[in-house]
Amino acid sequence: MSNSDEKKQEEKIRRAFKERDWSEIKSADSWAIFKVMSEFVEGFEKLAKIGPCVSIFGSARTPRDHAHYKTAEEIAAKLVRHGYGVITGGGPGIMEAGNKGAHSEGGKSVGLNIVLPFEQFNNIYIDRDKLITFDYFFVRKVMFVRYSQGFVVLPGGFGTMDELFEALTLIQTNKIGRFPIVLVGKDYWSGLVDWIKKTILLHKNINEEDLELFSVVEDATEAVQVIDDFYSKYLLSPNF
């Protein structure tokens, strides 16, 4: 971390402990409330009529020549051919691959971008009218879960884990429908799945049936098959 970054971090920490008078609180918090409202409004307006879509999560750091990038691109293309649109976080890496695959098949390609000091910039494969840029992670996550009929999760870091467990928690607690969650890459996810089974479940912090909230697959064909099988089971077609 550079000296300038360290100073910025110190300033954020100091501000958290600084006492503010009422006028400062009122002006700062009021601005934040209206900013949050504006992001929700824009998201609802742009996404309300996009139709059935599947969110693809994964690392922003995945290079274009990586196998995971190719897999994400293939999954997105197959999803479009099967009648779904694709939603990603709008940035590079796996997100770009998802949008690229959807774009290549002429399908709906949605990008929910986030303002970050590094890594994140919107990719060129997002439909122009379906790009939204957020300042707040929590607003962005609401849009993911509100307008997705399934979640495909490729290898990623903290952000990917955050999105995965957000979806799992909301389904587990019946806050959203029991949409399919597909983890792609058995080698990558095996350690996490083993820990969930041998630690979280063993300590009775989840129920046995919670393990059925997600599937682990190896390739694009299997990933899309899980989505299709789910909607066939519930007698729903992608074009509901």
Using one digit for the tens of pLDDT, what is the confidence trace for 32-76? 899 999 999 999 999 998 999 999 999 999 999 999 999 999 999
- Supply the mean pLDDT for the chain: 90
Average pLDDT over residues 170-198: 96
pLDDT in tens, 5-22: 677 777 766 666 666 665
Q: How far apart are CA 209 and CA 132, in angstroms?
A: 36
Structural contact between residues 82 and 104, judged by C-beta atoms closer than 8 angstroms: no
Sheet of strand 85-88, all strands in order from the earlier edge strand to the far edge = 131-134, 109-114, 85-88, 53-57, 151-153, 181-184, 215-217
| pLDDT for position 11 | 72
> CATH 3.40.50.450 region(s) of the chain?
51-233
- The architecture that CATH gives domain 51-233 is 3-Layer(aba) Sandwich (3.40)
Give residue 98's Cα distance to chain centre.
12
Kindly indicate the confidence band of residue 233, based on its pLDDT and cuts at 50, 70 and 90.
confident
Average pLDDT over residues 75-84: 97
H or E element, residue 143: helix 137-146
User: Confidence class of residue 116 from pLDDT cuts 50, 70 and 90?
Assistant: confident
The per-residue pLDDT for 30 is 81
User: Does residue 191 register a pLDDT over 50?
Assistant: yes
Q: How far from the centroid of its chain's Cα atoms is residue 114's Cα?
A: 11
Question: Rounded to an integer, what distance in angstroms lies between the CA atom of residue 191 and that of residue 144?
Answer: 26
Which pTM does this prediction carry? 0.86
Look up residue 174 and give its DSSP letter.
T
Other beta carbons less than 10 A from residue 73's beta carbon: 24
